[in-house]
Structure formats: structure tokens, C-alpha cells
């Protein structure tokens, strides 16, 4: 019994390493005969959305593991195979998956395909550098809630018997996101107006800024594949020094070197710029993290932002 218990624990320990957004891709999908529709999502945010709507009726696989930058992710030959064998492929879209775009376009002719951001109301999209739509739509919880219904419709197309269940789950999840939207707005409003500035590694947070009333400045632009120049860093040093911004933020899926350069630049000007912690940006967290679902990630981000930017509580008098 002891040995069996140990083995079970060991198996569980290994299982814990498998990211929640991406259930065991190594085994090549569910066991044969499972019978449930197999949906492949590109990013962890999209995998979460599909899972919220499909629940246990479907099997969701995610191409990109937690912590991976979708702008620069390249498909492996096995990814192409997994995509081709899917019953439905769901992408984020608006060129977020920069290096997968060609593959996804070719695939759309052969496998049922949905790019969720393409289904959002065009008038609510922001423009990124170069005039293209900004792909980081999941940071506006109310806007993202509008992606639930198209996912339900796509699932209903491949599994018509469960159409009503998908629609009901999508409506419930959209309602939860709208509630979260109101909560996030309240939290950010608790930061004094002059300190409501979010300086981050790359410009992923424009939708967050617009939705929740915080000015957003990215060191690197909307696409992580462009490099920040020295001029950009100097411009940002000027901004944080002149507005006495207490902290900048690093992101889970983007390199920290630009943020470090900014902290050093501010120090050279006599301004102590703290690190406000790590924000979930273009990827959710792994299992057991405080950002395993999009709702958790948005709440964790908001708490970190409020902690870092709201003034220190007054020291208690002796
Ligand atoms: Zn991004």
C-alpha cells in the first residue's frame, strides 16, 4: 500500500507540472475513443475562454504553454499536426500570433476555425503602432465577455446536441466578466489620479488603461519583437522622474532588460523607481498560480497595481 501511495503521489506530482492552459500535449491528445470534441487553442487566454464555455463536454489543448510570448511563438511540426487533427481551432487573432498567422490562414480552409478578436465590435478596438488593431483585447473584461457567444456558436457547430448548454455557459461566463469589469474599475479608481500611470515592459495594457481609467506607457510598443531604443528609455526616465511615479511593472511573458534600464536611468536622476511586481500580460499562469484563469490574472494584476501605485499608509503614531 505504501508503495502504491508513493507511486500515486509521484504521478500526481508529475501531473502538476502540466500547465492548466495546456492539458498534456505530450500524449498527443485524449485517449482514443474519448469521443469528446477536441479543441486546440493558441494562447492560454483563449484556452481559458474555450474551457469556460465548453466545460467538461470538450477537451481543450493549448499550443503555447504559460509564460510564452505569443508574438514570437513559432509552430513546431507537431503543432501543425495537432492543429490539423483538431475538431475546432480557436485563435486570439488580430495578428497576436504573429508567426503563426500564415499557418492559421492555411488551416482555416481545412479545419473549423475561429479567431475570437475578429468577432468583437470593430468600433471598440484600439489602434496599435502601424495602424493595425491592437490585439490585447482580453485586458478589457467587458470587451472579452463578447467573445464568449462566438465560442459557444463555434462549439455548437461541431457539437449541435449541446448547443443550448454552450449558449447558457457562455451567457453565465459573460455575466461574470461584466461583474469583474465593475470591480476592476473600482479598484483602479482607489489610486490617486496623478499616480494612475502604468509603465510596463511592452504596450499590452492599452485596453486595460481605457477600460479602467489608468494612463498606460509601454517601453517597447505593442509588439515584443521590436527593440526599445535608447531614446525611448530616456523619454520614459523623464516621465517617471517628472511625475514621481513610484513603480514600474515587469511582465510574465516579456524580457525585463528594458525595465531594468529604466530603473537605472531614474536612479541616475536621483529618483528611486521600484518594481511593482510581475503582471500577467500575454500569458496566464500555470496551475496553482494566482493567474491560472483570465479572471484571476486580471484580479491579481489590479491588486499589484493598486499596491504599487497607491500611497504608503501613514505610519502609526507612537
Ligand atoms: Zn503583447
Question: Mean pLDDT, consecutive 10-residue segments, the chain of 318 residues?
Answer: 41 38 45 81 98 97 94 92 96 95 91 96 90 94 98 98 98 98 97 89 89 88 61 85 88 72 91 88 94 97 94 54
Topology annotation, domain 2-182: Rossmann fold (3.40.50)
CATH architecture, domain defined by 188-309: 3-Layer(aba) Sandwich (3.40)
For ligand 1, the distance from its centroid to the CA atom of residue 311, given in whole angstroms, is: 29
Residue 262 has what pLDDT? 87
**Å from CA of 30 to ligand 1 middle:** 30
CB atoms within 10 A of CB 308: 19
Measured in Å, residue 224 CA sits from the centre of ligand 1 at 6
Q: What is the 216 CA–ligand 1 centroid distance (Å)?
A: 14
163 CA to centre of ligand 1 in angstroms = 33
DSSP 8-state assignment for residue 29: S
- Residue 281 CA to ligand 1 center (angstroms) comes to 7
CATH 3.40.50.1980, the chain: domain bounds: 2-182, 188-309
Q: How far is the CA of 155 from the centre of ligand 1 (A)?
A: 27
Spacing, Cα 270 to ligand 1 middle (Å):
31
Query: What's the gap in Å between 34 CA and the centre of ligand 1?
Result: 35
Distance CA 162, CA 58 (A): 10
Task: Please give the distance, rounded to the nearest whole angstrom, from the Cα atom of residue 203 to the centre of ligand 1.
Answer: 7
Cell of 26: 505530450
Q: At which residue does the C-alpha cell 479608481 appear? A: 189
pTM: 0.84
Cα-to-centroid distance, 306 and ligand 1 (Å):
22
CA 149 – ligand 1 centroid, Å: 24
What is the tens place of the pLDDT at every residue in 89-128? 999 999 999 999 999 999 989 999 999 999 999 999 999 8
How confident is the model at residue 222, as a pLDDT? 58
Question: What pLDDT is stored for residue 131 in this prediction?
Answer: 84
User: How many whole angstroms from 252 Cα to the centroid of ligand 1?
Assistant: 11
Ligand 1 centre to CA of 96 (Å) is 7
Per-residue confidence (pLDDT) for residue 27, from 0 to 100: 43
- The rounded Å distance from CA 120 to ligand 1 centre is 18
Longest Cα–Cα distance of the chain, Å, equals 72
| pLDDT for 95 | 92
Whole-number Å distance, alpha carbon 192 to ligand 1 midpoint, is: 27
Residues 6 or more apart whose Cβ sits within 8 Å of residue 223: 71, 98, 128, 129, 202
Q: What is the rounded distance in angstroms from the CA atom of residue 147 to the CA atom of residue 158?
A: 18
Q: Which grid coordinates are listed for 245?
A: 511615479
Cα of 201 from ligand 1 centre, angstroms? 10
For cell 502604468, name the residue: 198
Sign of CA pseudo-dihedral 260, 265, 266, 268: positive
How far is the centre of ligand 1, averaged over its atoms, from the C-alpha of 211 (Å)?
17
Amino acid at each position: 500500500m505504501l508503495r502504491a501511495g508513493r507511486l500515486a503521489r509521484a504521478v500526481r506530482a508529475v501531473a502538476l507540472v502540466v500547465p492548466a492552459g495546456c492539458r498534456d500535449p505530450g500524449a498527443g491528445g485524449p485517449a482514443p475513443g474519448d469521443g469528446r470534441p477536441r479543441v486546440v487553442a493558441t494562447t492560454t487566454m483563449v484556452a481559458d475562454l474555450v474551457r469556460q464555455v465548453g466545460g467538461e463536454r470538450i477537451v481543450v489543448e493549448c499550443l503555447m504553454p504559460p509564460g510564452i510570448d505569443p508574438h514570437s511563438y513559432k509552430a513546431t511540426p507537431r503543432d501543425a499536426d495537432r492543429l490539423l487533427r483538431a475538431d475546432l481551432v480557436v485563435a486570439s487573432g488580430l495578428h497576436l500570433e504573429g508567426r503563426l498567422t500564415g499557418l492559421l490562414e492555411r488551416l482555416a480552409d481545412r479545419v473549423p476555425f475561429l479567431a475570437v478578436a475578429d468577432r468583437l465590435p470593430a468600433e471598440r478596438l484600439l489602434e496599435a503602432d502601424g495602424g493595425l488593431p491592437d490585439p490585447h483585447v482580453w485586458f478589457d473584461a467587458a470587451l472579452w465577455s463578447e467573445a464568449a457567444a462566438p465560442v459557444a456558436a463555434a462549439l455548437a457547430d461541431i457539437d449541435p446536441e449541446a448547443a443550448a448548454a454552450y449558449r447558457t455557459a457562455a451567457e453565465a461566463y459573460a455575466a461574470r466578466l461584466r461583474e469583474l469589469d465593475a470591480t476592476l474599475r473600482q479598484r483602479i479608481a482607489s489610486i490617486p489620479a496623478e499616480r494612475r500611470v502604468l509603465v510596463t515592459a511592452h504596450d499590452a495594457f492599452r485596453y486595460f488603461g481605457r477600460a479602467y481609467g489608468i494612463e498606460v506607457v509601454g517601453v517597447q510598443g505593442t509588439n515584443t519583437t521590436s527593440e526599445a531604443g535608447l531614446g525611448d528609455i530616456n523619454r520614459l526616465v523623464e516621465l517617471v522622474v517628472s511625475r514621481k511615479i513610484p513603480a514600474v511593472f515587469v511582465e510574465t511573458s516579456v524580457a525585463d532588460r528594458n525595465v531594468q534600464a529604466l530603473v537605472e536611468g531614474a536612479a541616475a536622476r536621483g529618483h528611486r523607481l521600484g518594481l511593482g511586481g510581475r503582471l500577467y500580460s500575454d500569458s496566464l499562469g500555470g496551475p496553482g498560480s494566482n493567474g491560472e484563469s483570465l479572471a484571476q490574472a486580471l484580479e491579481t494584476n489590479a491588486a499589484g497595481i493598486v499596491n504599487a501605485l497607491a500611497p504608503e499608509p501613514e505610519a502609526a503614531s507612537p
